[in-house]
Structure 1
Amino acid sequence: MTSHIFYFLSHRRRQSLPMKRKRKSSRENLRPGKLFRNPLKRKKIRTSFKSSQQFVQAETCLYLPDDCWEIVFRFLIINGYNSCLKSLSLVSKHFLSVTNCLLFSLTILDQTRPFLDRLFKRFTYLNSLDISEYDSDLDMLLCDISCFPLNITSLNICDNRTFPSNGLQAFSQKITTLTSLNASNIYSMDDQHAAHFSLFLTNLVSINLSECSYLTELSLFSLVKNCPSLSEIKMEDTDIGKENVENNDSMMDIGIYPQLKSLYLGDNLWLSVQKIIMFASSIPSLQLLDLNDCDLSDGIWQFVRRFDMITHLNLASCTDVNKFKMNFVLPKLQVLDLADTGVDDETVYAISKSCPGLLELLLKYCYYVTEKGVKHVVENCKQLRKIEFSDFYVHDTIRELAMDALFASVLKFL
């Protein structure tokens, strides 16, 4: 009974409470904006959709393939300095992948040794390695590097105490693309080392063995004999020309090697004209010969006529260059460096008569050359494009004479 009374009272109470008015949904109570869609607003929506579509299309048009980005980034690399690539690689993952393809050389230090695996996987286009500043075991390092699928063409191992013969052999067996080797300033290297590595580095095109004080001409001929593609050898400041019984016995049959085009023999105290004449008979196609700072007082011009193909000759700081007496012509000689040789007008005149095809004549610190000598050069060398003097002593008359004969943009005063 009580429950019925409670239900009755609660039901009456709900009926006595004011009812909330329901919103009518009739057409007359709707706002005009709800009743009719605003055509302007609809047009605005369509326009917004169209603009976003255009934005997507614009983004697609702005996308450049990797090849184009590589061309753009190459313009930022000045004289081989690619430090700008570090900041570019932080911009996006896309730029990171592009810059990874633009790094071709890597310097390995003791600190970078533990990260070789990551580095070689990241920079897959590497073709040059510099390990000259690595202070630990070079043989072990080269053996480890040989395990990676690399296409290295240039290797720098200079400035080391010992020559890594075993490591270099392991390196060459796995990486057969090596064409350039810098092994300069390695104190312990001798002719036996050079003869040994020339047997397995047969694809070499260029090698630098300067400042290896125990090397003689035996190393030179071992290289040209075993490396058929070798076209450039640098052996400055070595023991080339030093006489001993072993060298004399080994020079009996040296052969002819036409592949060698450039030979740098500067600052070799033991070098003589007789040795150079011997080289000329074995290297008939030589085009560049650098003999700077050599003492060739016993007839410096005797060997020149034997190099028929020579185009570049460097005799800077050589002695007795003034004794120029020859009755032959070097029509292919284009660049002649006589800096600090003490040549005078008479010598310059004789040279201009024998070398009519000169393009560049370098006369720095040649204080005895006057306007008379310059006039002879200008008159006899019709193709001359550059005369190099030292500006602090050049007389105004010489300057004016040379300027009248040559274009101001190609005359260089240092």
Structure 2
Amino acid sequence: MGEERMGSRKRIAGGGGLPDDCWEYVLSKIVNKENLSVDERNNYLETLSLVSKQFLSVSNRFLYSFKLIYNQNLYRPFQRFQNLTSLDLSSFRGDLNALLSRIPASITLTSLNLSNHTTFPVLGLQTLLKKTTTKSTLTSLTCSNMASLCHTHISLIADSFPFLQQLDISFPKTISGNAHAYYNALQLLTQKLSKLRNVNLSGHSYFNDSLFFQLCVNCKFLQQVFMFDCQFLTHDGIASAIYQRPTLNSFSVSNFQEANGFNKITPYFVDSFGTLKGLTCLDFSFSRISDLMLCSLALESLPLNKLVLHGCLDYTYYGIYYLLSRSRFLQHLDLQFATFLNDQGITDLSVYLADLVSINLSGCHQLTNSAFFALLRNCPLLTEIRMESADIGKSLSVDLDLDFVYNQVKSLYLADNPRLKDEDINMFALMFPNMQLLDVHRCNSISQIG
């Protein structure tokens, strides 16, 4: 009885009479809402942790994802957050090997981000693997933008993390080792990581048609592929691989070419995309495509919700109109540097883009306020507009409806529009009451007062 009274007094002093498990249940109803993003969830937890020491202790149990920045104390996050499953070290600027070595055995990681570092932490990873269950639990590994990535590092990843579902080793600044060893390491990757669903191999100069074919054959669950700046990929090589994996739903590639220059789009390449019946995301940034390609995609009635033709060449308004007029579920559209687009063209296209959430029309220098307002009128879900280096601001007030506001718009990127003036910024304040970001740098007609 004495122990029960003492426990009761402790609970009253620390949290209003309720034990930790009760508060844990209450907090779970607050922070585990389905529509919360990771950042929103963590903001809730941070606020709740300030209420009392008991709330701090209980809320720590709900933090599963943590981003370590600069030179934070190496021990404190692991002491506080015992249920961590996701660790982002991309902004950490201390000794990465030492940090990984100090992760306690009680931590069960499923996601690890080691991007933006000068060295690949071989020793730290080896120590981590020896004392934790990371080898069998890690499903996501990101090592993007590493200063150096050699064939032994890639082999280590292939041998150490057989259950990876998501791997990003994109854009290493330097690729160390001879070509034969590096190719063999990438080949090992395609053979051992058979559970991959999402892979980013952008910037790997040794990744070619043969390796992509092996990747598609061996990885039966593969859904998303990113291969920007893989210069030895060809149209027909890509097509051969696609035919092996028709379950792909996201495909991103750029600058694929033959050794002697750009290869021509073949019917074999065009037809291969017709097999991707579940394709929702297509990114051809900085590639040569054609109207034939776009029309073929339209005829397949693919469920595209994201289309990126950023900096693409050799297509015209006819091709993009034919595709967009038949893509009624599109939410994200990037046509940056499509210099053939004009106000009337955007007005006509916007009629088919009722579900659009974000659009990028930067570098389309013919577009004026007419195109800007056509998008606002016809795309009621639009939250982000990028129209940098256009001609926005010319007679902007003419089209303004002062009796209507666009509550959904949160981000406007309008840099390098020299016609934008102070009064236009005031109009934006009335039109977009929920705007969170306004980029008007290098708009020289806007004064400091504005």
TM-score, normalised to structure 1's length? 0.68
1:171 shift after superposition: 1.5
The correspondence for 2:197, drawn from 170, 179, 192, is 179
Q: 1:188 aligns to what? A: 206
Question: How has the CA–CA distance of structure 1 residues 341 and 100 changed in structure 2, closer, same or farther, with 3 Å as cutoff?
Answer: same
3-state DSSP of counterpart to 1:137: helix
Distance between the aligned counterparts of 2:398 and 2:137, measured in 1?
A: 50
Distance apart, 1:234 and its partner CA: 2.0
Aligned to 1:135: 150
- 1:316-371 deviation line (CA, Å, top 9, x unaligned): 23322227437562122232211232112344455556545544332223234324
- Cα drift, residue 265 of structure 1: 1.6
Whole-angstrom CA distance in 1 between matches of 2:108 and 2:125? 21
Change (3 A) 1:190 1:276: farther
Pairing 1:109–2:121 present: yes
Letter in 1 for 2:223: V
Unaligned runs of 5+ in 1: 1-49
Partners of 1:169 and 1:200 within 8 A in 2: yes
Cα shift readout 1:184-233 (whole Å, capped 9, x = no counterpart): 11112222321221011121232211111222444554555433543222
> 1:294: Cα distance to partner?
2.4
Give 1:363's aligned residue: 387
Report how far residue 288 of structure 1 moved: 0.6
Question: Partner residue of 2:160?
Answer: 145
Deviation at 1:388, TM superposition (A): 3.3
Would the aligned equivalents of 2:122 and 2:153 in 1 still touch at CA under 8 Å? no
**Counterpart of 1:402 in structure 2: which amino acid?**
F
For the structure 1 residues 305 and 84, does the alpha-carbon distance in structure 2 shift closer, same or farther, using more than 3 Å as the test? same
**2-side partners of 1:197 and 1:123: how far apart?**
21
TM-score (normalizing by structure 2) = 0.63
- Gap regions ≥5 residues in structure 2: 29-55, 84-102, 115-119, 441-450
Q: Say if 2:356 is the partner of 1:333.
A: yes
Distance 2:374 2:77 in 1: 59
Report SS of the residue matched to 1:199: helix
Question: What corresponds to 1:5 in structure 2?
Answer: none
Paired with 2:269 and 2:417, the residues of 1 have a C-alpha distance of 50
Q: One-letter code of the match for 2:393? A: V
CA distance in 1 between counterparts of 2:227 and 2:272 reads 23
Output one character per residue of 1:149-196: Cα deviation in whole Å (capped at 9) or x when no partner.
Answer: x542222233356443431243234xx3x2221111111222232122
Query: The residue matched to 1:86 in structure 2 has which SS?
Result: coil
Structure of greater Rg: 1
Q: How does 1:243-258 map to 2 (within 5 A)?
A: 243-244=263-264, 247-249=266-268, 251=270, 255-258=274-277
Provide the C-alpha distance between the structure 2 equivalents of 1:399 and 1:216, rounded to a whole number of angstroms: 47
Select which of 75, 81, 94 maps to 1:87. Answer: 75
- Residue type at the aligned position of 1:157: I
> What amino acid maps onto 1:395 in structure 2?
K
Letter in 1 for 2:286: D
AA of the residue aligned to 1:341: C
Q: Is the 8 A contact 2:236 2:268 kept in 1?
A: no
For 1:2-60, what per-residue CA distance to the aligned partner results, in whole angstroms no more than 9, with x for missing partners?
Answer: xxxxxxxxxxxxxxxxxxxxxxxxxxxxxxxxxxxxxxxxxxxxxxxx79x9489859x
More displaced 10-residue stretch of structure 1: 377-386 or 296-305: 377-386
